[in-house]
C-alpha cells in the first residue's frame, strides 16, 4: 500500500520562492510539486517531486545540491525529500496530485 499523501498545510515561509528562483536557473527543471508524505513510524515529511528534461546522473546530482542549498534557510532544519517524478509509483502520485510550486513557462 502506498503511503498517504497530502498537500502541506502550510509551506515554510520563503520555500516556494526559493524553489522558483533556484529551478528557473536550471534549464532541465520543467515543474515541481510539493507534498506532505506520511510513512508509518515517521513524522510526515515535505517531499518535492521534480519533472525534468532527460538529464545525466551528474546533472541530477547538481540540481539536487542546488535545491538543497537554495532552500536551506527557508526550511529551518525541516527535512525535504527530493525525487524525480516518474511514470508510476509514489513520484507519479505526487506529480498527479500535489500542488504545483514551479512550472517552466
Q: 78 lies in which domain range?
A: 5-103
Unique residue bearing C-alpha cell 537554495: 70
More confident residue, 38 or 79: 79
pTM of the model: 0.85
Which region, left, alpha or beta, applies to residue 89 given φ > 0 means left and ψ of -120 to 50 means alpha?
Answer: left
pLDDT of residue 12 exceeding 90, the answer is no
Q: Please count the structural domains in the chain.
A: 1
- The model's pLDDT over 20-77, given as tens digits with 9 standing for 90+, comes to 999 999 999 999 999 888 777 777 888 999 999 999 999 999 999 999 999 998 988 8
Beta strand spans in the chain (E): 5-6, 29-37, 45-52, 80-84, 100-103
The CATH number of whichever domain residue 18 belongs to comes to: 3.30.70
Amino acid at each position: 500500500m502506498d503511503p498517504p499523501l497530502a498537500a502541506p498545510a502550510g509551506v515554510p515561509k520563503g520555500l516556494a520562492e526559493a524553489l522558483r528562483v533556484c529551478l528557473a536557473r536550471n534549464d532541465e527543471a520543467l515543474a515541481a510539486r510539493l507534498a506532505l508524505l506520511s510513512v508509518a513510524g515517521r513524522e510526515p515529511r515535505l517531499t518535492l517531486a521534480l519533472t525534468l528534461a532527460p538529464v545525466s546522473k551528474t546533472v541530477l546530482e547538481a540540481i539536487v545540491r542546488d535545491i538543497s542549498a537554495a532552500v536551506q534557510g527557508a526550511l529551518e532544519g525541516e527535512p525535504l525529500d527530493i525525487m524525480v517524478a516518474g511514470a508510476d509509483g509514489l513520484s507519479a502520485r505526487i506529480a498527479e496530485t500535489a500542488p504545483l510550486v514551479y512550472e517552466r513557462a
